Chains A and B, each alone.
Chain A
Amino acid sequence: MSPAEPALIRYILTGVALLFLGLFLLIPLAAVFVQAFEKGVAVYFKAVTEPDALAAIRLTLLVAAISVPLNLLFGVVASWAIAKFDFPGKSLLLTLIDIPFAVSPVIAGLMFVLLFGARGGVFGPWLTAHGIKIIFAAPGIVIATLFVTFPFIARELVPLMQAMGSEEEEAAVVLGANGLQTFFLVTLPNIKWGLLYGVTLCTARAMGEFGAVSVVSGHIRGETDTVPLHVETLYNEYNFTAAFAVASILAAVSVAALAAKKIMQLKVER
């Protein structure tokens, strides 16, 4: 075999991969921005600053601001427990963390409608009696987002903390550190890049989630529409430029998250 052949194969394989990437990822991404600015910058800014769009952005930020910290707390606690202790049901917990990855987001949304829906939901009558509205309101959207995004941080931290072992923590304790000192001075610095990486992914997903949120939101314009839902509403109204303008915000968030992820990955590997 001549040495030229492996090189040729290498170029072909690389070419195919790049072509695929260009066709299915880069061109569509570019198209979003091209469409968004098609009618000029003024139209773009008008589309993203009209009251309904602003309401959607506000709601999306609120949902992310609640669900990401909660998942951060859950992720750290769960991975700490899994990595540092042996307890019955450990592998079950690991499997349960993966459920949101396996379940279709639409089914996740329906699940919460069945639990909290005013009509026929398991807790529906009680919630109605106490004047609490979950489904077709912000709390439902937060709950659905929490469910969908909860594996991201734990999944990132468990292998990292398992690989770290617990010797450094033990060393800290023997040297007289208390639990909080051990966590903030020893554990946290060791996992910080992995943690930020998980938070980034979790945030991107929390802002971009469509399926589960769509089921529980009820699509009340200016009230329960998040950014992805607002994009759909605009699109269904044949308001393409506005739809793409709002979509470009999400796309920009994703690109920023990917860039941040790449940087952190390099830090983790270092």
Chain B
Amino acid sequence: MIEIAGITKAYGGQTVLKDINLTVPTGGLMALLGPSGCGKTTLLRIISGLETADNGMVKFQGEDAAGQSAKNRNVGFVFQHYALFRHMTVFENVAFGLRVRPRKLRPSKKDISKRVHSLLDLVQLDNLHDRYPSQLSGGQRQRVALARALAVEPKVLLLDEPFGALDARVRQELRRWLRRLHDEIRLTSVFVTHDQEEALEVADQVAVMNEGRIEQVGSPEDVYEHPNSPFVYNFLGDVNLFHGSLLNGTVAMGDYELAAPEHIGADADAVGYVRLHDFDVSLCPSGLPEIGAVVSRSRALGATVRLELKRRDTGEPFEAEMSLERFRELGIKPGVTVHVRPRKLKVFVQD
């Protein structure tokens, strides 16, 4: 278990982390998700001991790690650009952490060799053990980096943008593989990513970060279905913003009105968030509250179609997604008027 309490960090007067509190349960796989510059990598480096926090503490298994340097923390760290030792073979890279141990703790040559080969088996690279990093593909290097980090039997595994430098296809493959690997070895792990799809697909728990703070922590379903702030809504998936105002528990956005009982008493400007796929689109009015809009363009994205729409009441542009099947059924063409009903709309009071 990793416990992080009250971590604060500033560089030259600029705060990059503000009072971070987070717990990663034993055997869990946590994603730190956020845009670049949100402090996620700094937080990961503080956990590893490569950087020190100005305030706060990091505990592993209930034990304060404050006095331990990166060398003694026994964490596995996978760097974004792999950081493989370029003058060593794959085998030597993986063996490094065992070979630098003090003589008393160092396994015998035979044991090191056995352990390295079994790790290379695990990452499916044993046939390449005598290659140099420059002779490997990006995905292979990443797996060597992972095997090297696992060789020292770390208490926790930390991965900094583990798939960031790979092309889309390899990335897909590797993240499924990482998820399977995690299910197999159950090592408490934290990885940093700016890719929401990656975080939602791989992690048990996602911590969404913004400007040095954690905005929301929860299971992937939880943060996706119930974002607790406009930032999280914006960051996870494509979303439309409708500006409006709240009055007596009703929100009005143009001609479209909706009950918002959770905001009774807060009469203010408000923003409604609707994900692109949370719309019902039809050609005839249904009698329910709806937004009338004109289709300006449609784009097919594989099995779904994205409509670019223009509201008839306010003239604001917005977008909606629907299945290709439904799109064909309705025979939607540019210039056609459609009636769009948000299935799920979340209202946030504007500060």
Q: Which A residues lie at the B interface, using CB under 8 A?
A: 167-168, 170-178, 181, 185-186, 189-190
Contact = CB atoms under 8 A, between A and B. Distances in A.
Contacts of A175: 96-97, 100, 148-149, 151-152
Interface in B33-77: 48-50, 69-77
Given A177-B71, A178-B71, A172 B96 contact: yes
Contacts of B77: 170-171, 174
Nearest to A164: B86
Given A168-B85, A175-B100, A185-B100, 20 more contacts: A170-B70, A171-B77, A171-B83, A172-B85, A172-B96, A173-B69, A173-B70, A174-B50, A174-B71, A174-B73, A174-B77, A174-B149, A175-B151, A177-B71, A177-B96, A178-B71, A185-B85, A185-B96, A189-B85, A190-B86
29 contacts: A167-B83, A168-B85, A170-B50, A170-B77, A170-B83, A171-B77, A171-B148, A173-B69, A174-B49, A174-B70, A174-B73, A174-B76, A175-B97, A175-B100, A175-B152, A176-B72, A176-B152, A177-B71, A177-B96, A177-B97, A177-B100, A178-B71, A181-B100, A185-B85, A185-B96, A185-B100, A189-B85, A190-B86, A190-B87
Contacts of A186: 85
A13 to B, nearest CB: 36
A174 B71 CA distance: 5
Interface centre among A173, A176, A181, A185 (most CB of B within 10 A): A176
A174 B83 CA distance: 12
Interface in B191-250: none
A177 B148 CA distance: 13
B326 interface: no
A167 B79 contact: yes
A168 B84 CA distance: 6
B100 A176 contact: yes
Contacts of A189: 85, 87
Contact of A174 (B48, B84, B85, B86): B48
B339 interface: no
A77 B276 CA distance: 58
A170 B100 contact: no
A6 to B, nearest CB: 36
Interface in B296-339: none
Contact of A176 (B50, B74, B86): B74
A188 to B, nearest CB: 10
Given A185-B96, A185-B100, A176 B79 contact: no
Given A168-B85, A189-B87, A174 B100 contact: no
B155 interface: no
B100 A171 contact: no
Nearest to A168: B83
Q: Is the interface of A mostly helix, strand, loop or mixed?
A: helix
A19 B100 CA distance: 56
Nearest to B105: A176
A158 to B, nearest CB: 19
B101 interface: yes
Contacts of B79: 167, 170-171
Nearest to A177: B100
Nearest to B72: A176
A116 to B, nearest CB: 43
> What 5 pairs between A and B have smallest CB-CB spacing?
A175-B97, A167-B83, A171-B83, A177-B100, A189-B87
Contacts of A168: 83-86
Contacts of A167: 79, 81, 83
Nearest to B92: A185
Contacts of B149: 174-175
Contact of A178 (B48, B50, B100): B100
A20 B83 CA distance: 46
Contacts of A171: 77, 79, 83-85, 148
Contacts of B48: 174
A171 to B, nearest CB: 4
Nearest to A171: B83
A208 B152 CA distance: 51
Contacts of B86: 168, 190
Contacts of B97: 175-177
Contact of A172 (B75, B100, B101): B100
A135 B52 CA distance: 50
Interface string B281-292: 000000000000
B101 A176 contact: yes
A249 to B, nearest CB: 36
Contacts of B100: 172, 175-178, 181, 185
B176 to A, nearest CB: 25
Contacts of B73: 174
B165 to A, nearest CB: 12
A247 B270 CA distance: 88
Nearest to A169: B83
A178 B70 CA distance: 10
A178 B49 CA distance: 14
Interface string B153-182: 000000000000000000000000000000
Given A178-B100, A181-B100, A185-B96, A173 B83 contact: no
Contact of A173 (B50, B81, B84, B87): B50
Interface centre among A167, A168, A174, A178 (most CB of B within 10 A): A174
A180 to B, nearest CB: 10
A56 to B, nearest CB: 41
A90 to B, nearest CB: 14
Given A167-B81, A167-B83, A168-B83, A174 B96 contact: no
